[in-house]
Amino acid sequence: MSNTKGYAAYSSSEELKPFDFDRREMGPKDVKVEIDYCGVCHSDIHTAHNDWGMSEYPIVPGHEIIGHVTAIGANVSKFKEGDLVGVGCLVDSCGECPSCKDDLEQFCFNGMVMTYGSPDPVMGGVTHGGYSTQIVVTEDFVLKVSEKLDTKKVAPLLCAGITTYSPLKHWKVGKGQKVGIIGLGGLGHMGVKFAAAMGAEVVMITTSPEKGEDAKRLGAKDVLISKDTEEMAAHAGTFDLLLNTIPVEHDLNPYLPLLKVDKTMIVVGATPVQLHSMGLVFGRKSIAGSLIGGLKETQEMMDFCAEHNIVSDVEMINLEDINKAWERVMKADVKYRFVIDMKSFR
């Protein structure tokens, strides 16, 4: 077993602290990755604070992992030592259920194994994530990363990227469509970049007028201030798709009039919402949810990013500064994703 250094949450009310633990022994299909960078996701904070009521402690967060392969199992065929790779939100699934066979491991009927916080089928306890020096993962859940991209800015693609790419791809966003991205944060800024790269006319929908210039820099053609009732009325019935990335409890009802008949708002934030059915029945409109993506789609997204030179806008931090960074995330005080330089921690 390999001794690994990291930072963990020891309870829902404590700050993250140093934590040493053992990764599993290498199996024949395993890949060992020395972690160079790890993105900071709002889900890390929700899990550490037990906001979803499922957390076991101690737990090492982090599921936006970029690093280099340092060892491979005897039967590994996809990777070699030295390869630049990524590990996202999943590290295993049953592989046998209909979802897994359809490359939708995120919807595994028997329970996906998440990168952190899932029951660990090998070591017991819970899985530990990327706020650490290394990780061991079966090769089918490791992703190839292009050397073309700025590596430190790639890490958030493994969660923020695929969370927004997957619904845009599933609902076939493309030229001739008007797409609204609701909320300009870690997810929203990636949604703007992807929808623009797919050829859509992108409108940033936000409560903050000061975010307008940045939204246009990212690829939005227009900015709609959702608190401006006249502006909202002027855009009513004109959107082909809305991607709602708001990460806190909020009211969906003001956005529904923006949709054309038979069109959809996709919610990607795991948070309580308010909804009245009146906004759905008048116009046969839909609200849908989307999680992340399976491994095949996540690799497709990584390749799309390499082709279109898409990365996240990031601010680099050291692991020792993670608690301060979390405070800023909760205040929405980051443009638009923190990434931990794990090389400085080794």
Q: Are residues 110 and 205 in the same domain?
A: no
Only one residue has tokens 């199992």, namely: 73
Q: Are residues 150 and 178 in the same domain?
A: no
Q: How far apart are CA 176 and CA 151, in angstroms?
A: 33
Domain CATH code at residue 246: 3.40.50.720
Q: Are residues 108 and 255 in the same domain?
A: no
pLDDT tens across the length of the chain (346 residues): 458 999 999 999 999 999 999 999 999 999 999 999 999 999 999 999 999 899 999 999 999 999 999 999 999 999 999 999 999 999 999 999 999 999 999 999 998 999 999 999 999 999 999 999 999 999 999 999 999 999 999 999 999 999 999 999 999 999 999 999 999 999 999 999 999 999 999 999 999 888 888 999 999 999 999 999 999 999 999 999 999 999 889 999 999 999 999 999 999 988 899 999 999 999 999 999 999 999 999 999 999 999 999 999 999 999 999 999 999 999 989 999 999 999 989 7
The number of folded domains in the chain is 2
Alpha-carbon separation of residue 272 from 81, 208, 327 (angstroms): 44, 21, 21
Cβ atoms of residues 181 and 187 within 8 Å: no
Q: Are residues 169 and 186 in the same domain?
A: yes
Single out the residue in 266, 289, 312 at which a domain terminates.
Answer: 289
Cβ atoms of residues 112 and 92 within 8 Å: yes
CA 100 to chain centre: 20
Single out the residue in 289, 305, 323 at which a domain terminates.
Answer: 289
For residue 2, the model assigns a pLDDT of: 57
Q: Are residues 230 and 325 in the same domain?
A: no
Domain housing 227 = 161-289
Single out the residue in 289, 316, 336 at which a domain terminates.
Answer: 289
Bridge partners (DSSP) of residue 135 are 33
Domain CATH code at residue 313: 3.90.180.10
**Residue 283, SS3 per DSSP:** coil
Q: Are residues 232 and 315 in the same domain?
A: no
Stated pTM of the model: 0.94
Q: Are residues 58 and 175 in the same domain?
A: no
Q: Are residues 309 and 189 in the same domain?
A: no
Q: Are residues 152 and 121 in the same domain?
A: yes
Q: Are residues 10 and 154 in the same domain?
A: yes
Q: How far apart are CA 177 and CA 203, in angstroms?
A: 11
Beta strands per DSSP E along the chain: 2-8, 17-23, 30-39, 65-72, 84-87, 90-92, 113-114, 134-138, 143-144, 178-182, 201-206, 222-225, 239-244, 250-251, 259-267, 273-274, 286-289, 314-317, 337-341
Q: Are residues 38 and 127 in the same domain?
A: yes
Q: Are residues 182 and 135 in the same domain?
A: no
